[in-house]
Amino acid sequence: MKPSVTSLTHKRCRKRYGLDGLFAAVEYRTVIKKAVYKYKYEPYIYSLSGILSRLMHEFYIQNEALQNILSASSNVWITCVPLHENRLKIRGYNQSAMLGKILSEKMNLPFNSKIIKRVRDTIPQFKLSKEERIKNIADAFQLNSRYKGKMRGKTILLVDDVFTSGSTMRECGKLLKKSGAKAVYGLVLAMEQ
């Protein structure tokens, strides 16, 4: 994705099944990079959920464009990028789900971590090149069958922890759009510049 001043996808860059915008609370570097690593990998510091979600909520409070988008839609759902069940067993929690759940409570919007299922256990993306990431994540997600036909007209806020190449966010966004979502916006804690 090319950066824009408003975090919304440029009109000339929009695709039928692409994200409508991407919002990132902070840059993915230094202290944030270390905190995210400790949150996602050993020693799995689960308690970082509160601090990291506060950064995201503070960003939301200060971002008029995102506030306007969400207040203009009468049917907003927050969801997250899912983990495969194997990784969930190892870590014990989905970091993106934790961020999304806390944000939904602060924003007073419904949250559901079960909309998208990860059906393939992929290699961790941080180890791969951009091309390898795209190939690695292709067809790794499916819409949960309980939500078929329920996406129509929804504005979805898709939460994840880090945006690097965008492969994961794009794949999930495409799935939600193909399932009938009116608009899909990504909200991440950190974005690699």
pLDDT of residue 128: 87
* Pure H helices in the chain: 30-40, 48-62, 64-72, 85-91, 95-107, 130-137, 167-178
Query: Sign (positive/negative) of CA torsion 49, 102, 28, 159?
Result: positive
Task: Determine the Cα–Cα distance for residues 140 and 25; give it in Å rounded to an integer.
Answer: 26
Domain residues of the chain, as ranges? Answer: 18-191
Class at the top of the CATH hierarchy for domain 18-191: alpha beta
pLDDT of residue 58: 98
Residue-averaged pLDDT of the chain: 92
How would residue 8 be classed by pLDDT, with cut points 50, 70 and 90? Answer: low
Structure confidence by residue, pLDDT tens digits, 15-62 = 778 999 999 999 999 999 999 999 999 899 999 999 999 999 999 999
Q: Tell me how crowded residue 83 is: count the other CB atoms within 10 A of its CB.
A: 20
**Rounded to two decimals, what is the model's pTM?**
0.92
Structure confidence by residue, pLDDT tens digits, 82-125 = 999 999 999 999 999 999 999 999 999 999 999 999 999 998 88
How would residue 1 be classed by pLDDT, with cut points 50, 70 and 90? Answer: very low
Residues 6 or more apart in contact with residue 156 via CB below 8 angstroms? 76, 77, 78, 79, 176, 181, 183, 184, 185
pLDDT of residue 72: 93
